[in-house]
Amino acid sequence: MDKKIVEKYRKAGRIASDAREYGMSLVSENTLLLDVAESIESYIIKKGAKPAFPVNIGINDVAAHYTPKHDDKTVFRKGEIVKIDVGAHVDGYIGDTADTVEVGTNRYDSMIKASKEALEVALDLIKPDIDLSIVGSAVEQTIRSYSFVPVSNLTGHSLKQFRLHAGKSVPNIRTNVKEKIKKDDVLAVEPFATNGAGSVGGKTGGNIYRLVRDREPKTENSKKLLKYIKENFGVLPFAERWCRDKVDNVEAVLKELMRAMIITTYPVLRETGRGMVTQAEHTVMVTENGAEVTT
């Protein structure tokens, strides 16, 4: 991999890691989710990167794809399990990382530890020519050793410039898919543990959008917003609150772009058995002999 690209991945990873830790420190009882998300995103920009996606804040059975809207009044409450998932990019080269914290209690320490240890085990295995299925099997065994189950239909993923999901999946369970890790792969590895059914689903939008098709919309407002999306986010995910001051009645314009199938939205993913969910995530660059953690 080109040295300049390596340094950009490293810088993005350092900033994402620092932003994750900063965000975790902000989670406390009665604090607004919105304040935490916006503080993390501002931190990323201040440190010289850009958000690779809106900060995801998953509470309890919400595993992924929730970010607060501009007027969200939701606050953290004692006893909740909170996942903070952060992405930063430098010229499109991404660091993606997450961790879990419990608000004011410690009832779920074991489940938090299960996802963290599963991540550590996975990272120790990653090197060229190892089947991704071996990584998934190790993640599953580790989580089950704590008497929890992995979330089977959430996976880690490969990363490329301006591409958050670049083709390869890093499973969290044993699979029959034979795909090898290669040198210079960049992978986000993210085990999820739960005391529920072991799967997620959902149809309700989580205020996160992504450009999927570049074609001319009908109205001037939608043309203006599409231009802003392309120039500032490309095909990376973005939030409704990032577009508030760009056009009037932004929510209606976003719906118009969705009806035209120019953008899509991400559904909030909840554990199907309404179980609690914990998450741990790092980004790695695959080297000749193993993996360099960037986050």
Where do the structural domains in the chain lie, given as residue ranges?
Answer: 3-202+269-293, 208-267
> What's the CATH architecture for 208-267?
Orthogonal Bundle (1.10)
Catalytic: 245?
no
Which member of 61, 140, 185, 281 is catalytic? 281
Cβ(171)–Cβ(135) below 8 Å: yes
Which member of 190, 240, 256, 271 is catalytic? 190
Cβ(81)–Cβ(280) below 8 Å: no
Alpha-carbon distance 74 to 35, whole Å? 10
Which member of 157, 185, 240, 271 is catalytic? 157
Nearest to 52 by CA among 6, 98, 120, 3: 98
Alpha-carbon distance 166 to 161, whole Å? 9
Which member of 38, 41, 96, 99 is catalytic? 96
Q: For residue 96, give the 3-state DSSP assignment.
A: strand
Catalytic: 190?
yes
Q: Could you tell me how many residues make up the chain?
A: 295
> What's the CATH architecture for 3-202+269-293?
Alpha-Beta Complex (3.90)
Digit-by-digit pLDDT tens for the chain (295 residues) are: 899 999 999 999 999 999 999 999 999 999 999 999 999 999 999 999 999 999 999 999 999 999 999 999 999 999 999 999 999 999 999 999 999 999 999 999 999 999 999 999 999 999 999 999 999 999 999 999 999 999 999 999 999 999 999 889 999 999 987 899 999 999 999 999 999 999 999 988 879 999 999 999 999 999 999 999 999 999 999 999 999 999 999 999 999 999 999 999 999 999 999 999 999 999 999 999 899 999 9
Cβ(10)–Cβ(19) below 8 Å: no
Number of Cβ atoms within 10 Å of the Cβ of 133: 17
Same fold, 3-202+269-293 and 208-267: no
pLDDT for position 178:
84
Alpha-carbon distance 99 to 279, whole Å? 6
Catalytic: 2?
no
Catalytic: 96?
yes
DSSP 242-287: GGTTTSTTHHHHHHHHHHTTSEEEEEPEEETT---EEE-BEEEEE-
pLDDT for position 38:
98
121: exposed, middle or buried (C-beta count within 10 Å: 0-12, 13-18, 19+)? middle
pLDDT for position 205:
80
Cβ(282)–Cβ(181) below 8 Å: no
Which member of 35, 91, 165, 184 is catalytic? 165
User: Which residue pairs from 124-129 have beta carbons closer than 8 angstroms and sit at least 24 positions apart in sequence?
Assistant: 126/181, 126/187, 126/189, 126/284, 126/286, 126/290, 126/291, 127/181, 127/286, 127/287, 127/289, 127/290, 127/291, 128/180, 128/181, 128/182, 128/183, 128/286, 128/288, 129/180, 129/181, 129/182
Alpha-carbon distance 98 to 85, whole Å? 4
SS (H, E, C) 143-162: HHHCCCEECCCCCEEECECC
